[in-house]
Amino acid sequence: MDQKSFYDLLSRYESGNCTKAEKLWVDQWYHNLNSKDFKDLSSSTLEEMQKNTWYNINTIERKPVPALKVKWLWPKVAIAASIVVAFFIAGLYLVNYNHAEQSFLDENVDLNLISQTNESDSTMVIALSDKSTVSLKPKANIIYPKVFASNKRTVYLKGNAFFSVSKDPKKPFFVYNQKLVVRVLGTSFWVKSATDNMPAQVAVRTGKVHVEENQKSSLFDFSKKKLAEPILLTPNQKGVFSEHHLNKTLVSNPIPLAEAYNVPTSLSYNFKEESIKEIFKTLSEAYGIEIKSDSEQISTYTFTGDLSKKGLYEQLDLICGTISSKYYIQGTRIVVSKN
């Protein structure tokens, strides 16, 4: 009988659901326990008792036994269990406690902070004191000062939001959440907080963004070796955070740079007998994404077709379909392969 079975027997004894032989055995066990003055129930004690008595459980002579004065252990067991549960709950609280938010509040205690939560089903646009704007998604919350400090601009985000930050080289803009710290000068980007189904992410639309792990995310300090290596993101790139690692990849829907920056372009996506090599060069310039092939043979092919009004991945699907190839994303570049 293992320890779990033993506790199960005691539970059934307490509720009166054990057999007469089991009840007799437990009565004798309590008697032996009192006579030996055991204070704790250890595994070695269980094994000793098990060897000495449990083997004879079914051979005990079934005759009336004198009532024994039993020293009940259940109150002590209940207290001990309560302490264990309390420590367990406290541990869960410390692990899940959002220390990053409290740290942000402590560091900006001198500022007049505003907290806003989007309780609606549509995007809420918030104008900040520096003329930057935040498009707050439903259920998201942002904490920001009514007027930014003189040397930097800081906000704290819970949930998902799109930022359009005004340029001010003398006052860098910082977005904090529980996992990440995003530093920008003037750009537009998405910040998505971690959920049970999705890691924390930062996706850049315009400009450059510096992303690092938030060292204040936990009450426990991490050594620099355990912290994620910071990354620099450019348009159409995305940073994904998971287990102290920041990985760079591409956004799910790349946007042409001319559209992102709202500037005119002379690039045309209507190709007539154009070499694949030149088409990749045009698309790379349009999206700011390196597109290459792993075969010289692919570069010799040509393509005819109008790829206007189609997204990058749909454009690549059409091209690869005509040359019997496939493409895959490798970090922040796209590779077209015959394999």
CA 257, 125, 192, 195 dihedral sign is: negative
**What was the pLDDT predicted at 37?**
47
Q: Tell me the residue length of the chain.
A: 339
**What was the pLDDT predicted at 253?**
95
Asked whether 197 and 165 are in contact (CB, 8 A), the reply is no
Other CB atoms closer than 10 Å to residue 320's CB: what's the count?
18
**What was the pLDDT predicted at 39?**
43
In the chain the beta strands, taken as DSSP E runs, fall at 113-117, 124-127, 133-136, 141-145, 153-158, 160-164, 173-176, 180-184, 188-192, 201-206, 209-213, 231-233, 237-241, 246-250, 270-275, 290-293, 302-306, 326-330, 333-337
- Distance in angstroms (rounded) separating the CA atoms of residues 138 and 199: 18
**What was the pLDDT predicted at 57?**
44
Computed on alpha carbons and rounded to an integer, the radius of gyration of the chain in Å comes to 33
Every domain of the chain and the residues it spans? 3-95, 99-250, 257-337
3-state helix, strand, coil in the chain (%, to 5): 35, 25, 40
Looking at the whole model, is its pTM more than 0.75?
no
Phi/psi at 227 (nearest 5 deg)? -75, 150
Asked whether 41 and 81 are in contact (CB, 8 A), the reply is no
**pLDDT tens column, 253-305:** 999 999 999 999 999 999 999 999 999 999 999 999 999 998 888 988 999 99
- Distance in angstroms (rounded) separating the CA atoms of residues 122 and 118: 8
**What was the pLDDT predicted at 60?**
44
Query: Which CATH number describes the domain made up of 257-337?
Result: 3.55.50.30
Domains 99-250 and 257-337 share a fold: no
**What was the pLDDT predicted at 11?**
65
**What was the pLDDT predicted at 244?**
87
**What was the pLDDT predicted at 149?**
94
Q: Residue ranges of the chain with pLDDT lower than 50? A: 36-41, 43, 46, 53-54, 56-58, 60-63, 70, 90, 92-95, 222
Please state which CATH class domain 99-250 belongs to: mainly beta
Strand order in the sheet with 333-337: 290-293, 333-337, 326-330
- Distance in angstroms (rounded) separating the CA atoms of residues 180 and 216: 9
